[in-house]
Amino acid sequence: MAQVRLFVEHPLGEGQSVSLTREQAHYLFGVMRLGPGDSLLLFDGRSGEFRAKVAEAGRRGGTLICAAQTRPLRMPPDLWLMFAPIRKARTDFIVEKATELGAARIRPVQTEFTNAERIRRDRLRAHAIEAAEQCGGTFVPDIDDLARLDTVLDGWPADRNLMFCDEALAGQARPLAHRPGPWAILIGPEGGFSPAERARLVAMVQAVPVSLGPRILRADTAAVAALTLWQSRLGDW
């Protein structure tokens, strides 16, 4: 079986020809040492997964030909992950794990105590694509630009539940309540939520404050714990 999986922007279908970018050609032919006639798996985030063969291989490009579909598109649950960006490597980690754990949309938010003032959306998308390639996913989550938390909450959908991971509840028994409908998870910054932010979140009808255990977790650990908790209770596990 082909071990190499590659995400492509080109729509896929049986018999479809796919041209490679220079970066993709370097990865397939320079790093993975594939050549004409070798097989790999492709996905585009919309059409499922297809087996493909290398038709042309070059240093600056190449051509793949799709064969049969190997798996249909599998959409994740309608779940958003919202988090305050932290240091670069740890933000990258959050995006990678959110992709692996089945978030459909990733929304970086700026809170009153957020340390990072900007993100590189293209870099985060590249990490999400790489995570989907590695974990066997057929979908890549959308990644939004950084937005202020209060602005996001101003336009909050009436039907979307919000799992509010409140570090102030550490050590208290606050299990995740079961509610139907779409969900979002909110992870706070390294400095925690401000009193005003916490008051607003607690007052929201859609908010479900939860505890992530007896210890206050780092932001990247909290994201993984929260996604795991939600998936085990309400997701597609």
Over residues 72-76, the mean pLDDT reads 96
Which pTM was predicted? 0.91
pLDDT band at 232 (very low <50, low <70, confident <90, very high): very high
- Closest CA relative to residue 222, chosen from 199, 195, 192, 201: 192
Q: How far apart are CA 132 and CA 230, in angstroms?
A: 20
Q: What angle do CA 224, 100, 95 make, to 5 degrees?
A: 65
Query: Could you give the CA distance from residue 35 to residue 44 in angstroms, rounded to a whole number?
Result: 22
Structural domains of the chain ordered from first start:
5-71 (2.40.240.20), 79-234 (3.40.1280.10)
Contacts of 47 by beta carbon, 8 Å cutoff, 6+ apart: 11, 12, 13, 69, 73
Q: What span, in angstroms and rounded, lies between the C-alpha atoms of 134 and 152?
A: 31
Which residues, 6+ apart, have CB-to-CB distance to 52 below 8 Å? 18, 39, 40, 41, 42, 64, 65, 66, 67
Over residues 184-198, the mean pLDDT reads 92
4: confidence class by pLDDT, cuts 50, 70, 90: very high
